[in-house]
Structure 1
Amino acid sequence: MIRVLLAALLCVAAEAADIDKLWDFDLPAESEQRFRTALVAAQREADVALQAELVTQIARARGLQGDMAAANAALDSLVPRLAELPPAVSVRYMLERGRLYQLATDIPKAKRWLRNALSHAQRHQLDYLAIDALQMLGYLETAKNAVGLQMQALNLALASQDPRAQNWLGVLYQNLGWTYRNQRDYPKALDFFRQAQAWHEQRGGGKPWLIARWSVAKVLRESGEPDKALLIQLDVERGWQKLGQTDGHVLEEIGENLLTLGRRAEARPYFVRALDVLSRDPWFARNEPARHARLAKLAQ
């Protein structure tokens, strides 16, 4: 669940740097093609630094598609030139090494690379990349330790004069909301989710705004206010419909609210639809077996 939400939210943070605007984390294969097209243009312009940065993102895209060998080979190709390239390239290289080790579930090595990326970014005042390293490290820590890293990232984004760093704020508010929600500290979770909602609303809404509203409503249900939560989730569902899309997590939450309110007959069609949508995501079936089983039962 969190993986899907973060993928959409990180698309906003991806505006932090020009090449990152090419990302759609839900569609890594399509993103890779955009990076490869940009790489051809950078080669034509003989922009060596840009070429290297694009290679780091091609590696990331290959990793997200499960091709770890190609991802590592792409990063390996940069090693002989790293010392001659701008610091941002080295930081991106370290970040992607860390992410690949995270995907391979080698957490100690992932942390080592990400800490190196953080140190290098801080040394060269690359705030937007330091924030990326901090939020990645936060994903790998216990909830207690994650709060400190996420607050460090948030404070850096708030203090930075770099718009690329400031553009991380929506994601960071959302991350802190999830951390506190997972600790069952619902008041703090609501506070950060509402800050995320306000931040995205000021920037035109869109998918990240809908996700923030979904998060607010989810915590309202979990903290004992399903009536308020239901009204928000129904409105969020209409928001997705206006975009021509269906979000299975929203359908699931509508069903859970109706069930909590004793309206089981009304809830069932939402569970049926949620199961249909979420079952198409291989990650969901593989990593959320308990939720999948619950949806299957409630959809009967």
Structure 2
Amino acid sequence: MLDNRSLSRMWDYADPRVSEGRLRAARDAAAAAEEPVERDELTTQVARALGLQGEYASAEAELAAISSDVPVVQVRVLLERGRIANSSSDRAGAVRRLLEAARLAREHGLTYLLVDALHMLAIADPAYSGLWTDQGIEIAQRADEQTQVWMIALSNNRGWDFFDAGDFAMARQYFEQAEQWADRMGTRRQQQLAREALAECDAAIRAAEPARDVRDY
């Protein structure tokens, strides 16, 4: 089974084409080493990279080539099909696949992937975004260190939920939480984004404060 830290190092979400090349090379290495589960997991990530480039048919073709009945592979296939459906504006199809991914991940103790599914459900099912994110936070904060990395993105996303609703005090609590987790285990980019979110929130709080009457002095 893939180590999620190692997988993260292959990814540059700002450049999915470069990521695709790394993932294909890693898949070739796994195939040469006769590691079929790792090969299939990496195939799902090749599909994800293709999807991020808008090449949905090619992404689906990669996923269709996987016939594994290993739970971790099945969950990853469902996750990527959910992402493709969401990017293709098929929210109902995305939610259906992501719910199944979450169910399977929970059933087989795949906590990292369970939180990934909840994170994606918050995107694909905006009416219940807060509910899905809160579930992800509840699981991630008590999980292993690899899964706790999700606390950065989940806390940040929940902060923006409250920010967009005009509840800047609650937003700030979540942005602070995101910053704490980013400082603990995040990348420099995540740390920077956490600080930028806090700064924007503080600016909104100041702007919302009632102006003082000069007669108060």
User: Deviation digits for residues 168-193 of structure 1, max 9, x if unmatched?
Assistant: 11111111111111111111101100
1:205–1:49: structure 2 CA closer, same or farther, 3 Å change rule?
A: closer
| Structure 2 residue aligned with 1:192 | 174
Counterpart Cα distance in 1 of 2:139 and 2:153: 13
1:108 maps onto 2:96 in alignment: no
1:122 maps onto 2:110 in alignment: no
The 5-angstrom pairing of residues 195-206 of structure 1 reads 195-203=177-185, 206=188
CA apart distance, 1:139:
1.1
Counterpart Cα distance in 2 of 1:202 and 1:17: 15
CA apart distance, 1:225:
4.7
| Structure 1 residue aligned with 2:37 | 49
The structure 1 residue matched to 2:135, chosen from 140, 152, 159, is: 152
- Determine if contact 1:174/1:196 at 8 Å carries over to the other structure: yes
Question: What secondary structure, in the 3-state scheme, does the structure 1 residue paired with 2:140 have?
Answer: helix
1:17–1:198: structure 2 CA closer, same or farther, 3 Å change rule?
A: closer
- Determine if contact 1:16/1:167 at 8 Å carries over to the other structure: no
Sequence identity, in percent?
Answer: 33
CA apart distance, 1:206:
1.1
CA apart distance, 1:17:
4.4
Question: What secondary structure, in the 3-state scheme, does the structure 2 residue paired with 1:42 have?
Answer: helix
| 4+ residue segments displaced more than 3 Å | none
The structure 2 residue matched to 1:217, chosen from 196, 199, 206, is: 199
Counterpart Cα distance in 1 of 2:8 and 2:82: 18
Amino acid corresponding to residue 114 of structure 1 in structure 2: L
- Determine if contact 1:180/1:189 at 8 Å carries over to the other structure: yes
The 5-angstrom pairing of residues 1-300 of structure 1 reads 16-78=4-66, 81-83=67-69, 86-142=70-126, 145-160=128-143, 162-203=144-185, 206-225=188-207
Question: What secondary structure, in the 3-state scheme, does the structure 1 residue paired with 2:206 have?
Answer: coil
User: Deviation digits for residues 105-153 of structure 1, max 9, x if unmatched?
Assistant: 000000000000000000001110000000100012335x211111110
Question: What secondary structure, in the 3-state scheme, does the structure 2 residue paired with 1:223 have?
Answer: helix
Where structure 2 has 5 or more consecutive residues not aligned to the other structure, the ranges are 209-217
- Determine if contact 1:16/1:168 at 8 Å carries over to the other structure: no
TM-score normalized by structure 2? 0.90
CA apart distance, 1:214:
0.6
In the alignment of these two chains, the number of paired residues is 206
CA apart distance, 1:203:
3.5
- Determine if contact 2:46/2:59 at 8 Å carries over to the other structure: yes
TM-score normalized by structure 1? 0.66
Amino acid corresponding to residue 125 of structure 1 in structure 2: G
Question: What secondary structure, in the 3-state scheme, does the structure 2 residue paired with 1:82 have?
Answer: coil
